[in-house]
Amino acid sequence: MRKIALLFSLAVMTLVPARAPGFIREGRIITIAAGTEVQVSTQAIRVDRIFVQALPSASGGLVYVFDGVKSGTTPAFGTNPAAVLCAATSTTPGCSYGDSVNPRSGDAIILSQFWIDGAHTGDKVVVSWNRIN
């Protein structure tokens, strides 16, 4: 019986993909103050993947995602949004934004270059990323 359990465990482990070592999934929820861009992180954290989505809200507004903002500058909606996401409703999240790179090639997304803003104060936006160690 132990042999069968061991063989079953080994079979399951070979079917479940192992996560590559050195990656940490993190995230935060940002509360929108319309017209005030929020930097996702002040640290130049290297990530290989980022995901942004407005959480359900009864009075949801558009969400603005800014990507690749140069250090020392604050983005402006009229000049450099990477994406405008549709609003959430009271029962469904809004549209999502995602970006990814291949870290094996040495590429990385720099988290301090990501900013979030929105059209409606009080809306909440989830931002999650995969940190590269």
pLDDT of residue 70: 86
Low-confidence stretches of the chain (pLDDT < 50) are 3-19
Q: Where are the domains of the chain?
A: 20-132
What's the pLDDT at 1? 52
Question: Cα–Cα distances in Å, from 51 out to 11, 15, 58, 65?
Answer: 32, 26, 22, 10
Tell which CATH architecture fits domain 20-132: Sandwich (2.60)
Question: In this predicted structure, what is the pLDDT of residue 61?
Answer: 94
List residues bridging with 126 in a β-sheet: 29, 53
Burial annotation 50-64 (CB, 10 A radius, 16+ → b, else e): bbbbbbebeebbbbb
Per the CB < 8 A criterion, the answer to whether 32 and 127 are in contact is no
